[in-house]
C-alpha cells in the first residue's frame, strides 16, 4: 500500500554546519517541524524532527575556495566551484520543489535562490559576514572582498532577512540596504527558581562556551586580581584542545578555578543554576565581537544567574534594560575584577530575581516569532 504524501508545505533548511550541534538551526527545525515537512541540508547526522536529511560529506571543508579565483576577484566562479557548493548542488538535484527555503548564513543563499521555491527564500544571517574575521590581515585582504560581493550580489534577492542583533542589522542596512529583522540566540524557556545566595560564602562565578584564549584570558586574569572570596567554574568545549589542556594543567590544584567538560545545551541551565554569577567579557577585536550577543548570555538568564559583562553594546544594553547585573568599565581584567569585587550577596540576589522575571521574554519561544512570521508569510503566497 502506498504511503500518502505528506500534505504539509515543504521547507528546506540549509546550513554549512553540523546541524545537531548548531543551536540556532536546531531552534528553526524545532519551530517548523510540526507544521512543515522539513528537509535539512548540512553536515552530520539527521536532526530530530525532519522528514529528510541531505548530508554533506564530512571531508568537504565548507570554507575552501579557489585562492586564485579570489585573488582575481572572480567571485562568482569561486562560489560555484567551491567543493561545498558542488556537493550541495548534487544532493539537491532531482529534489521536488520546496515551498520555502530557509538559508542559514550568506554562503547558502545563492544555492537557495537557484532552487526558486514557490513561496520564496528567507535568509538568516548569523553574523556580519563582511567583517567576520577582520582581525586577520590575510582574511581582510583575500576573503573580505568576496563576502562583500556575496552580500551585495545576493542579499537583496532574498525575500526576507533576519540576523542576530540590532547592531549587525543596522550595519547590513547602512552598508548594503538590507532590511533585516532580529532573532536573538535565546534558548528554550526552562522553569527554574533562582538559588539563594549564601551570605559570607564565596560567590560562585561561572562561564560556559569555547576554550578560546581571547575569550577566557581576561576572566582568568581577573580571578587573580579579585580581593573577595570567589570561585570560577568553566564548562568548556574542546575546540582548541591544546589550550584546554594547558588550562587543565594550570588549574589542576586550584581551589578557586575548576575546569569541567561541556554540558549538553538542554542540561546547561540546570547546571548553571547552581552558581551565582555568569561572567563574560569579550574584547572587541573585530566588528562581530564588538556587537556580539551570544547564546551564553541567554543561557545565564535561563539559569537564573546574575550577570557581569564587558561594555559590548548589545550585551551591556540587555543587562541594563532588564536589570540583570553589572557592566565593567572596560574590557580589561582590572576593570572586571573591580566590578566583581563590588558585588554583594543582596545585589546578586536581586539580579537573580530580575533574571527570573525576564526568562520568559528572553526565551526562544518568544524570540523565534521573527522566523515564524517570515516563513509563514512566504508560504502563504502559495496558498493565499
Query: What are 187-235's pLDDT values in tens digits?
Result: 999 999 999 998 888 999 999 998 887 779 999 999 999 999 999 999 9
Q: Which of 35-44, 65-74, 206-215, 348-357 has the lowest mean pLDDT?
A: 206-215
**275-333 pLDDT, tens per residue?**
999 999 999 988 999 999 999 999 999 999 999 999 999 999 999 999 999 999 999 99
Distance of alpha carbon 255 from alpha carbon 257, whole angstroms: 6
pLDDT at 2 (0 to 100):
45
Domains and CATH numbers, the chain: 10-186+364-381 (3.40.50.2000), 203-362 (3.40.50.2000)
Confidence of residue 96 (pLDDT cuts 50, 70, 90): confident
- Could you tell me whether strands 257-260 and 277-280 are parallel, antiparallel, or unpaired per DSSP bridges? unpaired
Q: Give the largest CA-CA distance in the chain.
A: 74
Confidence of residue 170 (pLDDT cuts 50, 70, 90): very high
- Distances in Å between the alpha carbon of 111 and those of 29, 106, 150? 19, 10, 12
- CB-CB neighbours of 254 under 10 Å: 12
- CB-CB neighbours of 118 under 10 Å: 16
- Distances in Å between the alpha carbon of 247 and those of 83, 221, 241, 352, 380? 36, 12, 10, 29, 52
Distance of alpha carbon 170 from alpha carbon 182, whole angstroms: 10
Distance of alpha carbon 272 from alpha carbon 290, whole angstroms: 25
User: Residue for cell digits 547592531?
Assistant: 167
Amino acid at each position: 500500500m502506498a504511503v500518502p504524501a505528506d500534505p504539509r508545505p515543504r521547507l528546506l533548511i540549509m546550513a554549512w554546519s553540523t546541524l545537531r550541534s548548531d543551536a540556532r538551526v536546531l531552534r528553526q527545525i524545532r519551530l517548523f517541524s510540526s507544521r512543515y515537512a522539513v528537509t535539512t541540508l548540512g553536515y552530520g547526522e539527521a536532526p530530530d524532527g525532519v522528514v529528510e536529511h541531505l548530508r554533506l560529506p564530512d571531508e568537504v571543508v565548507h570554507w575552501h575556495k579557489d585562492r586564485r579565483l579570489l585573488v582575481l576577484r572572480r567571485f562568482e566562479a569561486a562560489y560555484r566551484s567551491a567543493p561545498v557548493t558542488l556537493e550541495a548542488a548534487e544532493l539537491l538535484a532531482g529534489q521536488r520543489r520546496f515551498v520555502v527555503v530557509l538559508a542559514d548564513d550568506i554562503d547558502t543563499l545563492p544555492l537557495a535562490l537557484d532552487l526558486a521555491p514557490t513561496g520564496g527564500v528567507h535568509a538568516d544571517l548569523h553574523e556580519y559576514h563582511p567583517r567576520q574575521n577582520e582581525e586577520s590581515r590575510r582574511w581582510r585582504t583575500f576573503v573580505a572582498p568576496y563576502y562583500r560581493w556575496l552580500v551585495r550580489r545576493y542579499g537583496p534577492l532574498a525575500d526576507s532577512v533576519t540576523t542576530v542583533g540590532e547592531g549587525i542589522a543596522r550595519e547590513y542596512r547602512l552598508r548594503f540596504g538590507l532590511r533585516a529583522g532580529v532573532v536573538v540566540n535565546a534558548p528554550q524557556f526552562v522553569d527554574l527558581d533562582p538559588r539563594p545566595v549564601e551570605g559570607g560564602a564565596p560567590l560562585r562565578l561561572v562561564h560556559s562556551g569555547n576554550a578560546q584564549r581571547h575569550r577566557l584570558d581576561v576572566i582568568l586574569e581577573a580571578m587573580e586580581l579579585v580581593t573577595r572570596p570567589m570561585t570560577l567554574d568553566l564548562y568548556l568545549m574542546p575546540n582548541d584542545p591544546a589550550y584546554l589542556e594547558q588550562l587543565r594543567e594550570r588549574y589542576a590544584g586550584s581551589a578557586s578555578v575548576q575546569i569541567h567538560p561541556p554540558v549538553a545545551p538542554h542540561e546547561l541551565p540546570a547546571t548553571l543554576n547552581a552558581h551565582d554569577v555568569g561572567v563574560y567579557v569579550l574584547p572587541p577585536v573585530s566588528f562581530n565581537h564588538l556587537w556580539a550577543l551570544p547564546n551564553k548570555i541567554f543561557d545565564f538568564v535561563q539559569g537564573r544567574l546574575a550577570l557581569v559583562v564587558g561594555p559590548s553594546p548589545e550585551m551591556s544594553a540587555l543587562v541594563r534594560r532588564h536589570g540583570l547585573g553589572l557592566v565593567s568599565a572596560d574590557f580589561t581584567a582590572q576593570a572586571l575584577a573591580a566590578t566583581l569585587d563590588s558585588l554583594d550577596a543582596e545585589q546578586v540576589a536581586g539580579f537573580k530575581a530580575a533574571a527570573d522575571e525576564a526568562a520568559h521574554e528572553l526565551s526562544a519561544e518568544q524570540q523565534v516569532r521573527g522566523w515564524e512570521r517570515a516563513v509563514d508569510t512566504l508560504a502563504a503566497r502559495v496558498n493565499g
